[in-house]
Amino acid sequence: MDDFRKYSLNLHGRLMEIDRPLIMGIINATPDSFYNASRTLEPELIAERAGIMLREGADIIDIGACSTRPGAQLVDENEEIKRLDVAIKAVRASTGNDVIISVDTFRADVARHCVEHLGVDIVNDISGGDLNPLMHSTIAQLQVPYIVMHMRGTPSTMQQLTDYNGDVAAVVLEQLAQKVDELHQQGINDVIADPGFGFAKTTEQNYRLISRLEVFHALRVPLLVGISRKSMIQQALRCQAQDALNGTTVLNTIALLKGAHILRVHDVKAAVEARTIVGLLNSNSQSDSDN
């Protein structure tokens, strides 16, 4: 966190300062997301999960209703909206309107519905606009913060598209830079970049990205890291998703040390604790440099 850069986001007219790393808790309103403890379609359980995350220190609740795990078959738009209506209304009813909610969707009409009718604050797009050509213009109209993630292909084809013809970090950085520039040119000021761990990357490529994470600060936008319980951890430790919390915490700690602004996680308490300890480490390091 020595190189942590401060940013701010405009959330429907209220300013959110990113002056420390933020923790984004994941809720999947799906029956088939890769980590079964994160998924539920029941509004009472969704509300309960959101409440626990907020008490544990989550800054943002990220809600998705269409699984994008490798090989996933996508649900249709109407079903996605139906699930999100239930989930977001349940969270709002139980936690209030001040809770910051992001919607995890790659569909422009779904994003518009969630912002205009459900009061969602942020749109989190795993495809960076590639799966829906209207997404960027829609975000420009809605004027909400937009998370642009790097991916190739679709969830069903992405793991066949891992040939980067060079350094994966350099290629991903270049492609994200083009996207960020295009978004700024369309008048979208609040952009967050996500290198897309696990999306069209091999395990080795994912570790190359985390080892060079600091290069993404060249984008001059907040940096989101989503590595929670993913296959890059499962394969390295020869474990299943339910046993990948320790590996997740190790990688989240590394991401924090390299200046990540947002950690997208299933386990809020562990991420908050990692942030606290890295913050103390950074404070002591700063004190030594001041003496």
Active site residues: 230, 264
State how far the Cα of 160 lies from the Cα of 162, in Å rounded to an integer: 6
Q: Are 214 and 261 in contact (CB under 8 A)?
A: no
State how far the Cα of 248 lies from the Cα of 246, in Å rounded to an integer: 5
Which token pair is 234?
A: 């499962």
